[in-house]
A and B are shown apart, each in its own frame.
Chain A
Amino acid sequence: MDHRPRPIAAIVGPGNIGTDLLIKLQRSGTLDVRYMIGVDPASDGLRRARELGVEASAGGVDWLLDQDILPDVVFEATSAKAHEANAPRYREAGIAAVDLTPAAVGPFVCPAVNLDEHLDAGGGTTSNINMITCGGQATIPIVAAVSRVTPVPYAEIVASISSRSAGPGTRANIDEFTETTSHALQSVGGATRGKAIIILNPVEPPMVMRDTVFAAIGPDADREAITESIHRMVAEVQQYVPGYQLKSEPQFDDPRPDWDGNGRVAVFLEVTGNGDYLPPWAGNLDIMTAAAARAGEQLALAWAATNEKEQVTTK
């Protein structure tokens, strides 16, 4: 039985994402969420955090780093610019960071695919991880499920989200989504080339997040093995995103000359949110907070263990 105290966490950024994350982390109980940090004293998010029993401050990261008891892990739900400024300060203070912004200071992490690599005790724990994008969290597991069976020369994903779930940050810099997701389809998903497309749909009532994955596969690829691998991966993701599901069985298309002689597997996904703070149709936001919560918990446990070991050694 492990009697170490629970690792301490802070959330920086008391917006919708930060609040939803707080609810998920409190429910899980793996972390002791001690602080919610903002910059606006009138913020609703800080008030909500206080109601949930968390110490909330509008004093920013300066206030956080002034505390006698520092967190083991911080969740950054602000903006890329803010995280770029904060990341070196967290590192200096010995705090691990889970970055939900597009800053990508640290490596891309998709919990179902590569979280283990970044918690590896022998190789040292990564102190800063990036949660990619919502479309990436939804689709990269599927690309990885295919690429662990057969080479994927090209993977393409289409993420459709309701207009109401796309915030001003996403809208002002939508290129960031396509570029970041494309890179991660390669580096995490294992595709040789990746392409990402995002669509905003304003229909009312709002549509639930939909994601489609198209992966090019060789003409002789083992379709049964691919299907089995995809089902296994979906079950894996469902452990932290319960509303993640296949809309239909994977669809295989025969090789075509205009596909460079490759065949194709198409996978249709739906992501229904857990309805914690954000409504169920905002599956795109839910999968980000769920993935961050999952990664943060594992990271904090590994990080706290490593720190403890170091302290023991120094003594």
Chain B
Amino acid sequence: MTSTEPAGVANTAANPPVRIIDTTLRDGSHAVSHNFTVQQVTDISKALDKAGVPIIEVTHGDGLAGSSFNYGFSAVRDIDLVAAAAEAVTNAKIAVLLLPGLGTVNDLHEARAAGAGMARVATHSTEADVSVQHFRAARDLGMETAGFLMLSHRTEPAQLAKQARIMADAGCQCVYVVDSAGALLPHGVRNRVDALVQELGDDAMVGFHGHQNLSMGVANSVEAYRAGARSIDGTLRALGAGAGNTPTEVLVTVLDAMGIATGVDVEAALAAAEEVLAPIVTRMPVMDRSSIVQGRYGVYNSFLLHAERAADRYGVPAYQILRRVGEAGYVGGQEDMIIDVAIELAGLQRQAAEHNERVPA
């Protein structure tokens, strides 16, 4: 694509390249309630590989072993989808996500055997030390590694940098500032990425994973790049939890316009989004009341569809459930508390109605 870069922006030579990781087949799994089929995974992986995306993440939205009552059961086992993706690509590396406390080192062994070349280990942004055994195991298995500090907006930059150090010392090669609720604004991204870059130096790369709740996915990714992040996540057409992720095809287009090399063919990325993903996915994430509330109150994005289901079941609005969940400070993985909150709100609603009946107007 021809660059129509305005004057004054640094040329390509001065702009270090950035690595794009596409997680349509992992974070996007939330948006399809973990119902991806082998054929869909094959088609999407092929299209991304053809576009030159170097790393494709494929797992249940909540990572290996995520298939469950609490997070939703997968239509097809993770390991079979990883194998299908590994089979479909010629150049791309397949990554898997693992949340300690849910997935285990045994799951990592299985994923490695199925063809995964990278392990991304995710913890809440203050709990990095639970990932140490998984990073060590991943490196022993010869896998590349990345670490996810989830809900990074809840942790101050200096504290976040200490957590990043724990991951790096355990064998993590790239630590991500993960904006799991789409709650960060550009200055919050800058402060955090900058703190991690200062802390990690040459010991590990810094990455950024953004969401669209406040429409900041691409803008925050650009800000992260400027602060030194050299690995950025996206998903095709923003398919992902909550309001969706940074859209890969927009991200690579913007980076191209800025003269920053990604190694991704922009035309092919646009084709993957338009011709391969769009026909497969019937319901795209949108910035609606519930997901904007998630961004504003910092609520973990994969809670959205669970809150909508609980709203149906218990007759209380989803956005009210999400707001209460945000106020209570629940973290990624506590999907069970959504039902708990819905029951509580339904009880309050009932009490209020009874009260109104008793009190004459």
Contact = CB atoms under 8 A, between A and B. Distances in A.
Contacts, number: 100
Given A163-B127, A212-B340, A258-B73, A201 B330 contact: yes
A199 B328 CA distance: 15
A248 B69 contact: no
B337 A200 contact: no
Nearest to A159: B101
Contacts of A200: 101, 124, 127, 130, 331
B101 A201 contact: no
A174 B133 contact: yes
Contacts of B132: 171-172
A69 B75 CA distance: 61
Nearest to B344: A248
A248 B343 contact: yes
Interface in B39-71: 65, 68-70
A87 B158 CA distance: 45
A99 interface: no
Nearest to B346: A248
B336 A212 contact: yes
Interface in A221-280: 247-248, 251, 253, 258-259, 264, 266, 268
A197 B333 contact: yes
Nearest to B100: A174
Contact of B101 (A168, A199, A202, A258): A199
A195 interface: yes
Contact of A203 (B73, B130, B313, B329): B329
B102 A197 contact: yes
B12 to A, nearest CB: 42
B130 A178 contact: no
Nearest to B107: A175
B129 to A, nearest CB: 5
A179 to B, nearest CB: 7
Nearest to B131: A174
Given A200-B127, A202-B124, A178 B343 contact: no
Contacts of B335: 158
Given A160-B334, A201-B334, A268-B340, A172 B133 contact: yes
A172 B336 CA distance: 25
A214 interface: yes
B104 interface: yes
Nearest to B74: A258
Contacts of B339: 212, 251, 266, 268
Interface residues of A, number: 35
B105 interface: yes
B191 interface: no
Contacts of B343: 247-248, 251, 268
Contact of B73 (A173, A197, A259): A259
A175 B340 contact: no
Given A201-B330, A247-B340, A251-B343, A214 B105 contact: no
B101 A177 contact: yes
A264 B129 contact: no
Interface size class on chain B is 20 to 34
B126 interface: yes
Interface in A123-178: 156, 158, 160, 163, 168, 171-175, 177-178
Contacts of A173: 133
A253 B314 CA distance: 12
Which of B75, B329, B337, B344 counts the most chain A CB atoms within 10 A?
B337
A158 B336 CA distance: 8
Interface string B70-100: 1001010000000000000000000000001
Nearest to A201: B331
Which of A160, A172, A177 counts the most chain B CB atoms within 10 A?
A160
A179 B104 contact: yes
A314 B129 CA distance: 54
Interface string B105-133: 11000000000000000001011011011
Contacts of A216: 69
A210 interface: yes
A58 interface: no
Contacts of A177: 101
Contacts of A171: 127, 129-130, 132
Given A264-B69, A266-B339, A172 B104 contact: no
Given A247-B340, A258-B73, A197 B68 contact: yes
Given A171-B132, A179-B106, 19 more contacts: A172-B133, A175-B104, A178-B101, A178-B102, A179-B104, A195-B68, A200-B331, A201-B331, A202-B126, A203-B329, A203-B330, A203-B331, A210-B336, A212-B337, A214-B70, A251-B343, A258-B73, A259-B73, A266-B339
Pick the 7 closest A-B CB pairs, nearest first.
A203-B329, A212-B336, A214-B69, A175-B104, A198-B101, A199-B333, A202-B126
18 contacts: A163-B127, A168-B129, A173-B133, A174-B100, A195-B68, A200-B130, A200-B331, A201-B329, A201-B331, A203-B330, A203-B331, A207-B329, A210-B336, A212-B340, A214-B70, A247-B343, A248-B340, A268-B343
